[in-house]
Protein backbone atom coordinates (compact mmCIF):
# COMPACT_ATOMS: atom_id res chain seq x y z
CA UNK A 1 0.00 0.00 0.00
CA UNK A 2 1.18 3.49 -0.73
CA UNK A 3 1.30 6.09 2.02
CA UNK A 4 -1.83 8.26 1.76
CA UNK A 5 0.28 11.25 2.69
CA UNK A 6 2.74 10.40 -0.05
CA UNK A 7 -0.05 10.15 -2.62
CA UNK A 8 -1.45 13.47 -1.49
CA UNK A 9 1.89 15.19 -1.83
CA UNK A 10 3.06 13.47 -5.03
CA UNK A 11 -0.02 13.39 -7.20
CA UNK A 12 1.83 13.78 -10.48
CA UNK A 13 4.34 11.05 -9.68
CA UNK A 14 1.58 8.61 -8.76
CA UNK A 15 -0.39 9.46 -11.89
CA UNK A 16 2.68 8.86 -14.03
CA UNK A 17 3.32 5.56 -12.29
CA UNK A 18 -0.24 4.37 -12.93
CA UNK A 19 -0.01 5.41 -16.55
CA UNK A 20 3.29 3.56 -17.06
CA UNK A 21 1.78 0.46 -15.53
CA UNK A 22 -1.28 0.63 -17.82
CA UNK A 23 -3.61 1.23 -14.87
CA UNK A 24 -6.67 3.31 -15.53
CA UNK A 25 -7.42 4.70 -12.07
CA UNK A 26 -8.36 8.24 -11.26
CA UNK A 27 -7.03 9.85 -8.12
CA UNK A 28 -9.62 12.61 -7.93
CA UNK A 29 -12.19 10.73 -5.91
CA UNK A 30 -9.59 9.47 -3.49
CA UNK A 31 -8.17 12.93 -2.89
CA UNK A 32 -11.63 14.31 -2.27
CA UNK A 33 -12.51 11.58 0.20
CA UNK A 34 -9.16 11.95 1.91
CA UNK A 35 -9.65 15.68 2.35
CA UNK A 36 -13.18 15.23 3.62
CA UNK A 37 -11.99 12.55 6.02
CA UNK A 38 -9.40 14.82 7.56
CA UNK A 39 -11.84 17.67 8.09
CA UNK A 40 -14.41 15.39 9.62
CA UNK A 41 -11.82 13.84 11.87
CA UNK A 42 -10.81 17.22 13.17
CA UNK A 43 -14.40 18.07 14.01
CA UNK A 44 -14.96 14.74 15.71
CA UNK A 45 -11.74 15.09 17.71
CA UNK A 46 -12.77 18.52 18.93
CA UNK A 47 -16.07 17.13 20.15
CA UNK A 48 -14.33 14.23 21.82
CA UNK A 49 -12.07 16.66 23.60
CA UNK A 50 -15.12 18.54 24.85
CA UNK A 51 -16.72 15.35 26.02
CA UNK A 52 -13.59 14.28 27.87
CA UNK A 53 -13.33 17.60 29.67
CA UNK A 54 -17.00 17.80 30.63
CA UNK A 55 -17.22 14.14 31.64
CA UNK A 56 -14.42 14.71 34.07
CA UNK A 57 -16.32 17.72 35.39
CA UNK A 58 -19.41 15.55 35.84
CA UNK A 59 -17.37 13.09 37.84
CA UNK A 60 -16.18 15.85 40.16
CA UNK A 61 -19.69 17.22 40.66
CA UNK A 62 -20.97 13.75 41.40
CA UNK A 63 -18.35 13.12 44.04
CA UNK A 64 -19.35 16.39 45.67
CA UNK A 65 -22.99 15.26 45.54
CA UNK A 66 -23.87 18.15 43.26
CA UNK A 67 -26.36 18.05 40.42
CA UNK A 68 -24.93 17.34 36.96
CA UNK A 69 -28.05 16.47 35.02
CA UNK A 70 -27.82 19.54 32.77
CA UNK A 71 -24.29 18.61 31.68
CA UNK A 72 -25.23 14.98 31.20
CA UNK A 73 -28.10 15.98 28.96
CA UNK A 74 -25.77 18.19 26.98
CA UNK A 75 -23.16 15.46 26.60
CA UNK A 76 -25.74 13.00 25.43
CA UNK A 77 -26.26 15.22 22.41
CA UNK A 78 -22.52 15.56 21.89
CA UNK A 79 -22.06 11.81 22.03
CA UNK A 80 -24.78 11.27 19.45
CA UNK A 81 -23.16 13.81 17.18
CA UNK A 82 -19.82 12.05 17.54
CA UNK A 83 -21.45 8.75 16.72
CA UNK A 84 -22.84 10.23 13.53
CA UNK A 85 -19.44 11.62 12.56
CA UNK A 86 -17.78 8.30 13.28
CA UNK A 87 -20.11 6.46 10.97
CA UNK A 88 -19.34 8.81 8.12
CA UNK A 89 -15.67 8.65 8.99
CA UNK A 90 -15.68 4.88 8.82
CA UNK A 91 -17.17 4.95 5.35
CA UNK A 92 -14.61 7.45 4.14
CA UNK A 93 -11.79 5.48 5.73
CA UNK A 94 -12.94 2.25 4.13
CA UNK A 95 -13.18 3.81 0.74
CA UNK A 96 -9.75 5.46 0.93
CA UNK A 97 -8.05 2.32 2.17
CA UNK A 98 -9.87 0.21 -0.34
CA UNK A 99 -8.67 2.54 -3.03
CA UNK A 100 -5.09 2.39 -1.88
CA UNK A 101 -5.16 -1.41 -1.65
CA UNK A 102 -5.83 -1.43 -5.37
CA UNK A 103 -3.06 0.98 -6.31
CA UNK A 104 0.20 -0.74 -7.31
CA UNK A 105 3.66 0.19 -6.06
CA UNK A 106 5.64 2.95 -7.77
CA UNK A 107 8.28 1.57 -10.15
CA UNK A 108 11.87 2.53 -9.36
CA UNK A 109 13.45 5.14 -11.62
CA UNK A 110 15.78 2.50 -13.12
CA UNK A 111 12.83 0.42 -14.37
CA UNK A 112 12.38 0.73 -18.13
CA UNK A 113 9.04 2.19 -19.20
CA UNK A 114 7.13 -0.10 -21.52
CA UNK A 115 3.76 -1.52 -22.39
CA UNK A 116 4.22 -5.25 -21.92
CA UNK A 117 6.74 -8.08 -21.63
CA UNK A 118 8.18 -7.32 -25.07
CA UNK A 119 9.67 -4.20 -23.52
CA UNK A 120 11.59 -6.07 -20.82
CA UNK A 121 15.32 -5.51 -21.11
CA UNK A 122 17.94 -8.24 -21.04
CA UNK A 123 20.71 -7.37 -18.60
CA UNK A 124 23.14 -10.26 -18.95
CA UNK A 125 23.59 -13.86 -20.06
CA UNK A 126 25.51 -16.69 -18.50
CA UNK A 127 26.51 -19.94 -20.19
CA UNK A 128 26.07 -21.12 -23.75
CA UNK A 129 23.05 -23.12 -24.91
CA UNK A 130 24.49 -26.52 -25.70
CA UNK A 131 24.58 -27.87 -29.24
CA UNK A 132 23.11 -31.33 -29.35
CA UNK A 133 24.12 -33.80 -32.03
CA UNK A 134 20.60 -35.13 -31.92
CA UNK A 135 17.12 -33.61 -31.63
CA UNK A 136 16.71 -32.69 -27.95
CA UNK A 137 13.48 -33.91 -26.38
CA UNK A 138 10.92 -32.15 -24.25
CA UNK A 139 11.12 -32.93 -20.56
CA UNK A 140 7.77 -34.69 -20.58
CA UNK A 141 9.07 -37.10 -23.21
CA UNK A 142 12.25 -37.62 -21.22
CA UNK A 143 10.19 -38.14 -18.09
CA UNK A 144 8.11 -40.75 -19.80
CA UNK A 145 11.08 -42.56 -21.35
CA UNK A 146 12.79 -42.75 -17.97
CA UNK A 147 9.57 -43.54 -16.10
CA UNK A 148 10.15 -40.77 -13.59
CA UNK A 149 7.15 -38.50 -14.22
CA UNK A 150 3.52 -39.67 -14.39
CA UNK A 151 1.02 -37.06 -15.51
CA UNK A 152 -1.82 -39.42 -16.36
CA UNK A 153 -2.21 -40.99 -12.97
CA UNK A 154 -1.77 -37.59 -11.32
CA UNK A 155 -4.77 -36.33 -13.22
CA UNK A 156 -6.71 -39.34 -11.99
CA UNK A 157 -5.81 -38.52 -8.41
CA UNK A 158 -6.17 -34.74 -8.57
CA UNK A 159 -6.77 -33.39 -12.06
CA UNK A 160 -5.01 -31.55 -14.84
CA UNK A 161 -1.80 -29.68 -14.04
CA UNK A 162 -0.67 -32.14 -11.41
CA UNK A 163 2.15 -34.64 -11.58
CA UNK A 164 3.64 -37.61 -9.81
CA UNK A 165 7.40 -37.73 -9.51
CA UNK A 166 8.70 -41.25 -9.26
CA UNK A 167 11.94 -43.05 -8.48
CA UNK A 168 14.94 -41.00 -9.56
CA UNK A 169 12.59 -38.17 -10.51
CA UNK A 170 11.30 -37.86 -6.95
CA UNK A 171 14.84 -38.15 -5.70
CA UNK A 172 16.01 -35.40 -8.03
CA UNK A 173 13.23 -33.16 -6.78
CA UNK A 174 14.33 -33.81 -3.22
CA UNK A 175 18.00 -33.32 -4.06
CA UNK A 176 17.27 -29.95 -5.61
CA UNK A 177 15.39 -28.79 -2.53
CA UNK A 178 18.28 -29.67 -0.28
CA UNK A 179 20.96 -28.33 -2.57
CA UNK A 180 19.17 -25.00 -2.93
CA UNK A 181 18.47 -24.65 0.77
CA UNK A 182 22.06 -25.50 1.66
CA UNK A 183 23.36 -23.02 -0.87
CA UNK A 184 21.14 -20.24 0.46
CA UNK A 185 22.10 -21.04 4.02
CA UNK A 186 25.76 -20.69 3.09
CA UNK A 187 24.89 -17.25 1.69
CA UNK A 188 23.64 -16.15 5.10
CA UNK A 189 19.98 -17.04 4.93
CA UNK A 190 18.21 -18.64 7.88
CA UNK A 191 16.14 -21.67 6.96
CA UNK A 192 12.48 -21.60 7.98
CA UNK A 193 9.65 -24.00 7.34
CA UNK A 194 6.41 -22.05 7.67
CA UNK A 195 2.70 -22.87 7.46
CA UNK A 196 1.53 -23.37 3.89
CA UNK A 197 -2.09 -22.47 4.53
CA UNK A 198 -2.57 -19.00 5.91
CA UNK A 199 -5.26 -16.57 6.98
CA UNK A 200 -6.69 -13.65 5.08
CA UNK A 201 -4.62 -11.03 6.88
CA UNK A 202 -1.41 -12.64 5.68
CA UNK A 203 -2.61 -12.70 2.08
CA UNK A 204 -3.47 -9.04 2.38
CA UNK A 205 -0.14 -8.25 4.01
CA UNK A 206 1.86 -9.32 0.98
CA UNK A 207 -0.64 -8.03 -1.56
CA UNK A 208 -2.28 -11.19 -2.94
CA UNK A 209 -5.60 -9.97 -1.58
CA UNK A 210 -7.91 -8.33 -2.27
CA UNK A 211 -6.89 -8.00 -5.89
CA UNK A 212 -5.78 -11.50 -6.85
CA UNK A 213 -8.30 -13.78 -5.21
CA UNK A 214 -8.84 -15.64 -8.48
CA UNK A 215 -5.25 -16.91 -8.38
CA UNK A 216 -5.65 -18.60 -5.01
CA UNK A 217 -6.90 -21.90 -3.73
CA UNK A 218 -9.15 -21.29 -0.81
CA UNK A 219 -10.42 -23.41 2.05
CA UNK A 220 -13.92 -22.32 2.89
CA UNK A 221 -14.70 -23.65 6.34
CA UNK A 222 -12.78 -22.56 8.27
CA UNK A 223 -11.46 -19.83 6.02
CA UNK A 224 -7.85 -20.34 4.90
CA UNK A 225 -5.81 -19.84 1.77
CA UNK A 226 -3.18 -22.11 0.28
CA UNK A 227 -0.01 -20.14 -0.32
CA UNK A 228 0.92 -19.37 -3.94
CA UNK A 229 4.51 -18.74 -2.78
CA UNK A 230 6.52 -18.91 0.43
CA UNK A 231 6.79 -15.14 0.18
CA UNK A 232 3.40 -14.99 1.92
CA UNK A 233 4.08 -16.84 5.18
CA UNK A 234 7.72 -15.81 5.41
CA UNK A 235 7.18 -12.09 4.88
CA UNK A 236 4.31 -12.24 7.36
CA UNK A 237 6.61 -13.68 10.03
CA UNK A 238 7.24 -10.10 11.12
CA UNK A 239 3.77 -8.68 10.49
CA UNK A 240 2.83 -6.06 13.10
CA UNK A 241 6.32 -6.00 14.54
CA UNK A 242 8.82 -3.27 15.28
CA UNK A 243 12.31 -4.60 14.63
CA UNK A 244 15.57 -3.21 15.98
CA UNK A 245 17.96 -1.57 13.57
CA UNK A 246 20.70 -3.94 14.70
CA UNK A 247 18.58 -6.96 13.70
CA UNK A 248 18.57 -5.85 10.07
CA UNK A 249 19.08 -7.13 7.50
CA UNK A 250 17.18 -10.37 8.08
CA UNK A 251 17.52 -13.11 5.45
CA UNK A 252 15.23 -16.13 5.36
CA UNK A 253 15.05 -19.04 2.99
CA UNK A 254 12.21 -21.52 2.91
CA UNK A 255 11.21 -24.57 0.99
CA UNK A 256 7.44 -24.86 0.55
CA UNK A 257 4.95 -26.33 -1.83
CA UNK A 258 3.04 -23.61 -3.72
CA UNK A 259 -0.51 -23.68 -5.02
CA UNK A 260 -1.92 -21.65 -7.89
CA UNK A 261 -5.21 -21.73 -9.68
CA UNK A 262 -3.64 -20.58 -12.95
CA UNK A 263 -6.99 -19.14 -13.91
CA UNK A 264 -6.76 -17.44 -17.27
CA UNK A 265 -3.83 -19.48 -18.52
CA UNK A 266 -5.86 -22.27 -20.05
CA UNK A 267 -4.04 -22.56 -23.33
CA UNK A 268 -0.56 -22.11 -21.88
CA UNK A 269 1.95 -24.84 -21.08
CA UNK A 270 -0.74 -27.47 -20.86
CA UNK A 271 1.83 -30.20 -21.13
CA UNK A 272 4.66 -30.82 -18.75
CA UNK A 273 5.82 -29.50 -15.45
CA UNK A 274 6.15 -25.84 -16.32
CA UNK A 275 2.73 -24.73 -15.11
CA UNK A 276 1.30 -26.83 -12.30
CA UNK A 277 -1.36 -26.20 -9.69
CA UNK A 278 1.04 -27.53 -7.08
CA UNK A 279 4.79 -27.09 -7.28
CA UNK A 280 7.80 -26.90 -5.02
CA UNK A 281 9.89 -23.82 -4.59
CA UNK A 282 12.75 -22.59 -2.45
CA UNK A 283 12.30 -18.92 -1.69
CA UNK A 284 14.55 -16.19 -0.34
CA UNK A 285 13.09 -13.30 1.65
CA UNK A 286 14.86 -10.22 2.98
CA UNK A 287 13.93 -7.48 5.44
CA UNK A 288 16.30 -4.55 5.04
CA UNK A 289 16.80 -0.86 5.73
CA UNK A 290 15.36 1.43 3.05
CA UNK A 291 18.73 2.82 1.97
CA UNK A 292 20.05 -0.70 1.27
CA UNK A 293 17.17 -2.27 -0.58
CA UNK A 294 18.26 -1.80 -4.17
CA UNK A 295 21.74 -3.14 -3.44
CA UNK A 296 20.09 -6.02 -1.62
CA UNK A 297 18.06 -6.74 -4.74
CA UNK A 298 21.28 -7.12 -6.74
CA UNK A 299 22.78 -9.56 -4.23
CA UNK A 300 19.51 -11.48 -3.94
CA UNK A 301 19.46 -11.91 -7.71
CA UNK A 302 23.10 -12.98 -7.67
CA UNK A 303 22.31 -15.58 -5.01
CA UNK A 304 19.65 -17.08 -7.29
CA UNK A 305 21.99 -17.00 -10.30
CA UNK A 306 24.68 -18.76 -8.31
CA UNK A 307 22.45 -21.82 -8.08
CA UNK A 308 22.04 -22.01 -11.85
CA UNK A 309 25.75 -21.51 -12.32
CA UNK A 310 26.57 -24.35 -9.97
CA UNK A 311 24.09 -26.53 -11.81
CA UNK A 312 25.67 -25.51 -15.11
CA UNK A 313 22.42 -24.27 -16.62
CA UNK A 314 22.59 -21.40 -19.12
CA UNK A 315 20.37 -18.45 -18.28
CA UNK A 316 19.73 -14.78 -18.83
CA UNK A 317 18.57 -12.00 -16.56
CA UNK A 318 15.95 -9.50 -17.66
CA UNK A 319 14.61 -6.46 -15.87
CA UNK A 320 10.84 -6.17 -16.10
CA UNK A 321 9.44 -3.00 -17.64
CA UNK A 322 6.73 -0.92 -16.00
CA UNK A 323 3.95 -2.65 -17.92
CA UNK A 324 5.03 -6.14 -16.87
CA UNK A 325 6.05 -5.36 -13.31
CA UNK A 326 4.14 -7.13 -10.54
CA UNK A 327 1.57 -5.26 -8.50
CA UNK A 328 3.55 -4.86 -5.26
CA UNK A 329 7.03 -4.61 -6.78
CA UNK A 330 9.12 -1.51 -7.40
CA UNK A 331 11.68 -3.44 -9.43
CA UNK A 332 11.95 -7.04 -10.58
CA UNK A 333 14.59 -9.16 -12.27
CA UNK A 334 13.43 -12.34 -13.90
CA UNK A 335 15.95 -15.09 -14.38
CA UNK A 336 15.22 -17.25 -17.39
CA UNK A 337 16.82 -20.63 -17.91
CA UNK A 338 17.55 -22.13 -21.30
CA UNK A 339 15.26 -25.02 -22.24
CA UNK A 340 16.57 -26.99 -25.25
CA UNK A 341 13.24 -28.79 -25.64
CA UNK A 342 11.49 -25.48 -26.28
CA UNK A 343 14.53 -23.65 -27.70
CA UNK A 344 13.60 -20.82 -25.38
CA UNK A 345 14.56 -19.06 -22.20
CA UNK A 346 11.86 -19.63 -19.57
CA UNK A 347 11.34 -17.92 -16.24
CA UNK A 348 12.79 -19.85 -13.32
CA UNK A 349 13.13 -17.08 -10.76
CA UNK A 350 11.68 -13.69 -10.09
CA UNK A 351 13.54 -11.38 -7.72
CA UNK A 352 11.78 -8.26 -6.50
CA UNK A 353 12.20 -5.26 -4.27
CA UNK A 354 8.86 -4.25 -2.80
CA UNK A 355 10.34 -1.21 -1.02
CA UNK A 356 7.97 -0.25 1.80
CA UNK A 357 4.83 -1.34 -0.05
CA UNK A 358 4.36 -4.73 1.61
CA UNK A 359 5.79 -3.44 4.88
CA UNK A 360 3.12 -0.77 5.10
CA UNK A 361 0.36 -3.29 4.37
CA UNK A 362 1.78 -5.80 6.81
CA UNK A 363 2.89 -3.10 9.27
CA UNK A 364 6.52 -4.19 9.55
CA UNK A 365 8.63 -1.41 11.00
CA UNK A 366 12.02 -0.86 12.56
CA UNK A 367 13.50 1.60 15.00
CA UNK A 368 16.77 3.35 14.35
CA UNK A 369 19.32 3.48 17.15
CA UNK A 370 18.90 6.70 19.11
CA UNK A 371 16.14 8.04 16.87
CA UNK A 372 12.54 8.78 17.71
CA UNK A 373 9.71 7.02 15.93
CA UNK A 374 9.73 4.13 13.50
CA UNK A 375 10.17 3.54 9.79
CA UNK A 376 8.88 0.83 7.52
CA UNK A 377 11.42 -1.77 6.47
CA UNK A 378 11.90 -2.70 2.85
CA UNK A 379 11.03 -6.27 1.87
CA UNK A 380 12.44 -8.32 -0.99
CA UNK A 381 12.05 -11.81 -2.23
CA UNK A 382 13.08 -14.08 -5.00
CA UNK A 383 12.86 -17.70 -5.98
CA UNK A 384 16.00 -19.58 -5.39
CA UNK A 385 14.68 -21.45 -7.29
CA UNK A 386 11.47 -22.94 -8.64
CA UNK A 387 12.25 -26.62 -8.22
CA UNK A 388 9.98 -28.14 -10.85
CA UNK A 389 11.30 -25.83 -13.53
CA UNK A 390 14.88 -26.48 -12.46
CA UNK A 391 14.21 -30.18 -12.78
CA UNK A 392 12.83 -29.54 -16.27
CA UNK A 393 15.97 -27.61 -17.14
CA UNK A 394 18.21 -30.41 -15.90
CA UNK A 395 16.35 -33.09 -17.82
CA UNK A 396 16.43 -31.07 -21.01
CA UNK A 397 19.97 -29.70 -20.74
CA UNK A 398 21.62 -32.88 -19.50
CA UNK A 399 19.82 -35.38 -21.72
CA UNK A 400 21.93 -37.84 -23.69
CA UNK A 401 21.36 -39.44 -27.04
CA UNK A 402 20.41 -42.76 -25.42
CA UNK A 403 17.66 -41.08 -23.36
CA UNK A 404 19.60 -41.05 -20.11
CA UNK A 405 20.19 -37.89 -18.08
CA UNK A 406 23.49 -36.98 -16.46
CA UNK A 407 23.19 -35.59 -12.95
CA UNK A 408 25.00 -32.25 -12.47
CA UNK A 409 28.10 -32.62 -10.34
CA UNK A 410 26.83 -30.60 -7.35
CA UNK A 411 23.75 -32.79 -7.00
CA UNK A 412 25.58 -36.12 -6.96
CA UNK A 413 26.27 -36.08 -3.21
CA UNK A 414 22.55 -35.53 -2.70
CA UNK A 415 21.45 -38.09 -5.30
CA UNK A 416 24.16 -40.67 -4.76
CA UNK A 417 23.76 -41.16 -8.47
CA UNK A 418 25.61 -39.92 -11.56
CA UNK A 419 23.21 -40.77 -14.32
CA UNK A 420 19.52 -41.50 -14.52
CA UNK A 421 19.74 -44.43 -16.89
CA UNK A 422 17.23 -45.31 -19.50
CA UNK A 423 16.40 -48.86 -18.50
CA UNK A 424 12.77 -48.81 -19.56
CA UNK A 425 12.94 -47.65 -23.19
CA UNK A 426 16.51 -48.17 -24.37
Q: Which is nearer to RNA, 171 or 365 (CB)?
A: 365
Which one of residues 45, 94, 122, 402 is an interface residue with RNA (CB under 7 A)?
Answer: 45
From residue 23 to residue 42, the character string flagging contacts with RNA as x (rule: CB under 7 A) and all else as - is ---------------x--xx
Q: Which is nearer to RNA, 94 or 298 (CB)?
A: 94
Q: Which is nearer to RNA, 106 or 359 (CB)?
A: 359
> Does 66 contact RNA by CB under 7 A?
no
> Does 72 contact RNA by CB under 7 A?
yes
Which one of residues 128, 343, 372, 426 is an interface residue with RNA (CB under 7 A)?
Answer: 372
Q: Determine the 3-state secondary structure of 274 from DSSP.
A: coil
> Does 48 contact RNA by CB under 7 A?
yes
From residue 210 to residue 229, the character string flagging contacts with RNA as x (rule: CB under 7 A) and all else as - is ------------x-------
| Nearest-approach distance from CB 205 to RNA, in angstroms | 15
> Does 22 contact RNA by CB under 7 A?
no
Q: Which stretch binds RNA (CB under 7 A): 50-58, 264-272, 283-291, 340-348?
A: 50-58
Which one of residues 79, 187, 299, 404 is an interface residue with RNA (CB under 7 A)?
Answer: 79
Q: Which is nearer to RNA, 41 or 404 (CB)?
A: 41
Residues 348-367, interacting with RNA (CB under 7 A): 365, 367
> Does 62 contact RNA by CB under 7 A?
yes
Kindly list the catalytic residues: 260, 275, 347, 350, 389
Residues 236-265, interacting with RNA (CB under 7 A): 242
Q: Which stretch binds RNA (CB under 7 A): 14-22, 74-82, 205-213, 244-252?
A: 74-82
Q: Does a cis peptide bond (omega within 30 degrees of 0) precede residue 249? A: yes
Residues 80-99, interacting with RNA (CB under 7 A): 90
> Does 58 contact RNA by CB under 7 A?
yes
Alpha-carbon gap, residue 304 to 183, rounded angstroms: 9
| Nearest-approach distance from CB 322 to RNA, in angstroms | 28
Alpha-carbon gap, residue 108 to 294, rounded angstroms: 9
Q: How many chain residues bind RNA (CB under 7 A)?
A: 32
Task: Return the percent helix, strand and coil in the chain, to nearest 5.
Answer: 45, 20, 35
Residues of the shown chain interacting with RNA in the complex, contacts defined by CB under 7 A: 4-5, 38, 41-42, 45-46, 48-49, 51-56, 58-59, 62-63, 72, 75-76, 78-79, 90, 222, 242, 365, 367, 372-374
Amino acid sequence: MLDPKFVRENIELVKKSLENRNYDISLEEFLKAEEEKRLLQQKADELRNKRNVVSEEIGKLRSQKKDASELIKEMKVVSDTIKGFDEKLKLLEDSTINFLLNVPNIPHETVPVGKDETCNVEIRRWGEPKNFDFEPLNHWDIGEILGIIDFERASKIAGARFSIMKGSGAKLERALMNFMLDNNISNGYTEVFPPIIVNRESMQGTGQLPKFEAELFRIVDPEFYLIPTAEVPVTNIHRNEILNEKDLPIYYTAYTPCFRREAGSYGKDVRGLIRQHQFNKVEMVKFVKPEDSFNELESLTNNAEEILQKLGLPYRVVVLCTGDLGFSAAKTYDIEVWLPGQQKYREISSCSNFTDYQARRANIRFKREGKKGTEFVHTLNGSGLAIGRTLVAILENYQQKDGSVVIPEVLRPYMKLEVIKNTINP
